[in-house]
A = this chain, B = another copy of it.
Amino acid sequence: MSLAYNTNLKNKLTSQCKNCSLSSLCLPLVLKDEDINCLDQIIERKKPLKKGDFLFHQGDPFESIYAVRTGTLKVFNMTDSGEEQITTFYYPGELLGLSGINTKVYPISAKAIETTTVCEIPFYRLEELSNKIPTLKNQLFKIMSRQICDGQQMIVLLGKKNADEKVASLLMNIGLRFKRRGYSGTSFRLSMSRNEISNYLGLAIETVSRVMTRFQKKGLIKANGKEISITNLEEIQKLAGVITEYDNTSNT
């Protein structure tokens, strides 16, 4: 609907999961070679989305989930009063659209916030394939479980944290996601605007701006527009809390 790119380009690029640098983050993680080939066959690499393009709209019939290859997407929910609330950003290697399975309709919209490419995975074919490949099914369980966790962390952020803590959490979280892909976790470029950040964090844009300059004055970060580098990681971590990841299995 939102995109009619299911053109001749389909399957042209098949058999790439194996070579994809993101496979360690994405579905193929635990699959055997032959299984990856099966997966490859149902995946469609799509034409890039430009900044502002929708991947799907809230209310569209749910047909596929998507894996981000490059770029960034924001996922947001329209309230009845017409405001949008961003619920997540999606970076390369991450899977989106899973919240549509239940109602067969996407309950949220997804929009590229910079040039972005995705792999489309028709869900009903994935479901079929997961009958044959239990590992794939288990991997899906894990991914969905993770997204539930992430949601819970976001609830904590919105329910309990003040402006400073929220911004610090965002920086840490994005840093970790860069790190996971092999980039610096302390020096990166924010792909989203201040406006999007403020929306996501449940703050006013002015507040985000003020927090950023305050952080700079205190020497916690250096910010030059969207270029961020964390100069006092410890302090940022302290502000953020342990939120961002559950690598720490040793929580009472």
Contacts and interface: CB of A to CB of B under 8 A. Distances in A.
A108 interface: yes
A57 B246 CA distance: 15
**Total identical chains:** 2
Nearest to A104: B249
Contacts of A79: 156, 160, 241-243
Interface in A103-149: 103-105, 107-108, 127, 130-131, 134, 137-138, 140-149
In the complex, which range does the number of interface residues on chain A fall in? 35 or more
Of A58, A102, A252, which is in contact with the most chain B CB atoms at under 10 Å from its CB?
A102
Given A102-B142, A145-B101, A156 B85 contact: yes
A195 B19 CA distance: 53
Contacts of A148: 98-99, 144, 147-148, 151
Contacts of A23: none
Contacts of A243: 79
11 contacts: A79-B243, A85-B155, A87-B152, A98-B148, A99-B149, A141-B144, A144-B144, A151-B155, A155-B155, A155-B158, A159-B200
